[in-house]
């Protein structure tokens, strides 16, 4: 069943590793439901899942760039775009650990001095230079020329320590990376929860109305923007953290499906005091079914994929 707004799977492969066969199956799930996007959450504090020239040594299971590109080609043939997620400047513990293992001197120039999982986003030198190098390798691995500038690159930006009181520094840091992603002909996307009206104002002043997108999971802090604030000028993915977000450890399609059907919707967002707030402005470019992977390693992979298939099919059919 086709829907007015594209429905996507947002799959956490950082905290739960899936073999390539399972990833091909997830592409098929998106394709069989006539949808067009699969987000792969590649990095978090627990691990980083891409083999890179920057990291010669890695203790993590990781996908080779050839494996990724082959998967992207397979998906492209089925009209499914695979979207990389490099979560920065926080949730960066996995790749920061790799950097420390491979080059401790450079690590000390990149990591913040107050949180080992966060990049120093007040520095325009080595942190930006290094992340640009990571973007170069990831963008190359996921690149499909046929998309002609329509590919998407998610840069995270959720739960950033001290971000609300340092919006100028955060935007200044991220703007360098937005532009770098665009130089690879990708469209940048970020999460909403650290964004205030000041951040939106700076993005508009920088001429990013048509080139920056947001994904909205929840509004948890006073002073941050509502979905209407964003959609007044920018396109937005709805990734509601209650009825559209689940754990691979506990996903139960029979039980969770009913909750999702009751509470999810294209225009229903999680804001302070209301998990199903209906937005007044509609500029939604997609809706996400998210599956996080914490503490799910003991659950059989096949079982998770089976439950995901059932949930996504229901998500496409029921969420209006």
> Would you please indicate which residues are annotated as catalytic (active-site) residues?
159
* Closest to 26 (Cα-Cα) out of 73, 65, 82, 84: 82
Give the strand pairing for 37-41 and 81-88. parallel
CB-based contacts of 78, cutoff 8 Å, min separation 6: 27, 28, 30, 31
Measured at the alpha carbon of residue 257, what is the angle toward residues 252 and 259, in degrees to the nearest 5? 110
> What are the φ/ψ torsions at residue 151 (nearest 5 degrees)?
-70, 155
Length reported for the chain = 320
Q: Per the structure block, which two tokens stand in for 257?
A: 């499906």
Kindly report the number of other CB atoms within 10 A of residue 217's CB atom: 22
Integer distance in angstroms from the first to the last C-alpha of the chain? 12
Report the run of H or E that residue 262 belongs to, with start and end. Answer: helix 253-263
Residue the block writes with tokens 């229901």: 314
What distance lies between CA 98 and its chain's CA centroid?
20
Q: Per the structure block, which two tokens stand in for 198?
A: 């000041």
Q: Using CA atoms, how far apart are residues 191 and 94, in angstroms rounded to an integer?
A: 19
Q: How far is CA 86 from CA 50, 72, 107, 147, in A?
A: 10, 17, 17, 20
């Amino acid at each position: 069943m086709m829907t007015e707004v594209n429905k996507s799977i947002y799959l956490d492969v950082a905290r739960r590793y899936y073999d390539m066969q399972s990833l091909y199956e997830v592409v098929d799930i998106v394709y069989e439901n006539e949808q067009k996007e699969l987000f792969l959450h590649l990095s978090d504090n627990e691990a980083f899942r891409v083999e890179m020239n920057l990291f010669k040594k890695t203790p993590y299971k990781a996908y080779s760039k050839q494996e990724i590109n082959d998967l992207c080609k397979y998906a492209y043939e089925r009209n499914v775009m695979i979207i990389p997620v490099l979560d920065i400047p926080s949730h960066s513990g996995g790749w920061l650990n790799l950097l420390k293992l491979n080059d401790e001197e450079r690590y000390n120039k990149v990591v913040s001095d107050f949180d080992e999982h966060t990049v120093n986003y007040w520095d325009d030198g080595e942190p930006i230079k290094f992340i640009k190098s990571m973007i170069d390798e990831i963008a190359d691995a996921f690149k499909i020329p046929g998309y002609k500038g329509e590919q998407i690159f998610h840069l995270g930006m959720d739960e950033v320590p001290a971000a609300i009181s340092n919006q100028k520094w955060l935007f200044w840091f991220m703007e360098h990376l937005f532009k770098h992603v665009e130089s690879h002909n990708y469209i940048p996307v970020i999460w909403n929860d650290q964004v205030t009206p000041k951040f939106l104002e700076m993005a508009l002043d920088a001429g990013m109305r048509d080139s920056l997108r947001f994904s909205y999971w929840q509004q948890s802090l006073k002073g941050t923007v509502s979905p209407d604030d964003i959609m007044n000028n920018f396109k937005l993915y709805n990734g509601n953290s209650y009825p559209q977000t689940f754990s691979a450890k506990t996903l139960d399609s029979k039980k969770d499906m009913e909750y999702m059907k009751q509470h999810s919707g294209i225009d229903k967002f999680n804001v302070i005091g209301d998990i199903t707030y209906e937005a007044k402005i509609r500029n939604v470019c997609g809706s996400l079914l998210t599956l996080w992977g914490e503490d799910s390693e003991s659950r059989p992979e096949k079982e998770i994929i089976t439950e995901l298939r059932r949930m996504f099919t229901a998500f496409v059919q029921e969420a209006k």
